[in-house]
Structure 1
Amino acid sequence: MGKNLVIQTDFGTSDGAVSAMYGVAISVDPDLRIFDLTHDIPQYNIWEGSYRLYQTITYWPAETVFVSVVDPGVGSNRLSIVAKTVDNQYIVSPDNGTLTHIKQQIGIKEARVIDETVNRLPKSGESYTFHGRDVYAYTGARLAANVITFEQVGPEIDVNQIIELPNIEASINQGTISGTIDILDVRFGNLWTNISRELFKSGGIEYGTSLEVTISNNRHQVYKNKMTFGRCFADSRLGEPLLYVNSLDKIGVALNQGSFAKAYHISTGANWKISIRKIM
């Protein structure tokens, strides 16, 4: 392995939980290089945990080990697994939907259930509520440090059995492109949709095209307005909305130097729909 360990949680950093995971990993091998993906996943939000992995993982080299802990079912009978991607990266995670985007958008070629009789922090057997420390950080560190091989993680499971969250595909029908608001660009309040650049441009849309954008939540219309498709934020005036291609090659919605999400009280998930059509 490459001795890179990347950790994501919904723990925040206001207490010692993340530091304890670091300590476990360093105790396995002090030469490990440990990085934070984020610890600001909203509590229990498995969907966002899945998306943040997808947003990040392709920029890391092969053999990188990711530990993702968004685990409202900790201590239950949900499985703890390590998935191997088609690009030979590894993700240590509960099997609760965290791997949805990786499985669907990138690809998983093999997965194994963590054998906790071997891959568990010594003397932690009576603890059932901190698998992030006792199982995931420990197993991830051992894998990244070459203390164990992938085969020694535990028994293999069918990749097709890995749990996936509901994920609606974007579509185009009679010139109207429909999708969902998958995630927010949190810092700036931009909306990131599941509409790919290829699908978007298949509607004959070019830079500078005027479009009508409608956003609804559970069929209740929240926003409807005209905006243009721009290359960058500077293609609109200050405070004006625009559509653009984000860093994942998907369509985003933004306010120039403002938060679109806050301005219109927009959130994310399968119930948040967006439709886009050219203004004739």
Structure 2
Amino acid sequence: MSKNLVLQSDFGLGDGAVSAMYGVAISVDPSIRIFDLTHEIPQYNIWEASYRLYQTITYWPDETVFVSVVDPGVGTSRLSVVVKTIDNQYIITPDNGTLTHIKQDIGIVEARIIDEEVNRLPKSGESYTFHGRDVYTYTAGRLAANVISFEEVGPLIEVDDIVELLKPEASIDQGKINGNIDILDIRFGNLWTNINRELFIQAAFEYGDSLEVTIANNTHQVYKNIMTYGRSFADSHLGEPLLYVNSLDKLGVAINQGSFAKAYHIETGANWKIIIRKVPKFSSN
């Protein structure tokens, strides 16, 4: 098995939590290669943890081991699991919805509950608030280093029983596309939707088209404007809005060299709707 270990959490880097996780893994096997996916997930935001795994995992080699710790239910009866994906990668996480995108969009072939009688950091049995260090990273290190096999993680759980969050699907109706704002491209403030490029093809939208974009939070309209569907940001002028295909082959909404999210106070999730339709062409005759 590869010794790549990738860590994700909502811990930030302001204290020693992430460093402690590194230490646990290296103590299992100093040759493990440890990488950070991100530790800047907003606190308790399970949806974003799920999306960032989906955004990243397919670009890593098979047998890479991922740890994702966004765990507002730490110390409760929620399960701790290791899943094997269809691409032969492993994810170790609380079973709280973090695996939603992996389960629905990539595929999980097998799942196991972590047996903490075996796979728990020695002398940590009285700690109930840092499973990321004591259970998840310890188990991940042992799995990555071949100290244990996947079968030795613990008992099987049905893949169908893995917890999922509500995940709306985009749709097309008479040439109008309805979707959601899934996530932000945080650094630049672009909106990433759940609308696949294939839906644009079905709707006969083409690069260069002018499209009407409406964004609403529940039933409250936040934004409505006409913008160009472009191949890149070069297809718009500085400060202009545009639609584009992002790195996950989904539709994004941006302002050329500006933050769309900040400009219009737009957030993400199932309540944030986006509707896109072609602007009717009127004859001058």
**Normalised-by-shorter TM-score class:** over 0.9
2: CA distance between counterparts of 1:35 and 1:237? 38
Q: CA RMSD in A?
A: 0.4
Distance 1:26 1:66 in 2: 15
Q: CA deviation at 1:16?
A: 0.2
AA partner of residue 223 (structure 1): Y
SS at match of 2:139: helix
Q: Which amino acid aligns with 1:139?
A: T
1:219-253: per-residue Cα shift (whole Å, max 9, x none)?
A: 10000000010000010000000000000000000
Amino acid at match of 2:114: I
- Tell me by how many angstroms 1:124 deviates: 0.3
Partner amino acid, structure 2, of 1:274: I
Report the equivalent of 2:9.
9
In structure 2, what is the Cα distance between the partners aligned to 1:49 and 1:168?
A: 17
Alignment partner, residue 18 of structure 1: 18
Deviations 1:171-220 (A, max 9, x none): 00111100000000000000000000001221000000000000000110
Distance 1:96 1:134 in 2: 18
Which residue does the alignment assign to 1:220? 220
Local SS of the residue matching 1:57 = helix
The total of aligned residue pairs comes to 280
Q: Distance in 2 between matches of 1:141 and 1:177?
A: 45
For residue 94 of structure 1, report the CA deviation from its aligned partner. 0.2
Tell me the residue number matched to 1:166.
Answer: 166
**Correspondence for 2:54:** 54
- CA–CA distance in structure 2, aligned partners of residues 141 and 69 of structure 1: 15
Tell me how far apart the structure 1 counterparts of residues 218 and 279 of structure 2 sit (CA, whole Å).
Answer: 25
The CA distance in 2 between the partners of 1:201 and 1:182, in whole Å, is 20
The amino acid that maps onto 1:148 is I
Secondary structure of the corresponding residue to residue 82 of structure 2: strand
d(CA) in 1 for partners of 2:35, 2:220: 41
Partner residue, 1:195 = 195
- What is the CA–CA distance in structure 1 between the aligned matches of 2:202 and 2:141, rounded to whole Å? 45
TM-score by length of 1: 1.00
Equivalent position SS for 1:118: coil
Identity of aligned residues (%): 79
Structure 1, unmatched stretches of 5+, are none
Q: How does 1:112-151 map to 2 (within 5 A)?
A: 112-151=112-151
Look up the SS of the partner of 2:136 in the other structure: helix
The code of the aligned residue for 1:182 comes to: D
Q: Which amino acid aligns with 1:120?
A: R
> In the TM superposition, what whole-angstrom CA distance separates every residue of 1:125-184 from its partner, at most 9, and x where no partner exists?
000000000000000110011100000000011000000000110000111100000000
What are the superposed Cα offsets for residues 113-132 of structure 1, whole Å, 9 maximum, x if unpaired?
00000000000000000000
Alpha-carbon distance in structure 2 between the residues aligned to 1:175 and 1:223:
20
Task: Letter of the 2:46 partner, please give it.
Answer: I
Alignment of 1:1-280 (within 5 A): 1-280=1-280
**How far is 1:98 from its partner?**
0.1
Q: Which runs of 4+ in 1 moved over 6 A?
A: none
Match in the other structure for 2:283: none
Residue 194 of structure 2 aligns to a residue whose secondary structure is: strand
Distance 1:46 1:201 in 2: 32
Cα deviation 1:77-96 (Å, max 9, x = unaligned): 00000000000000000000
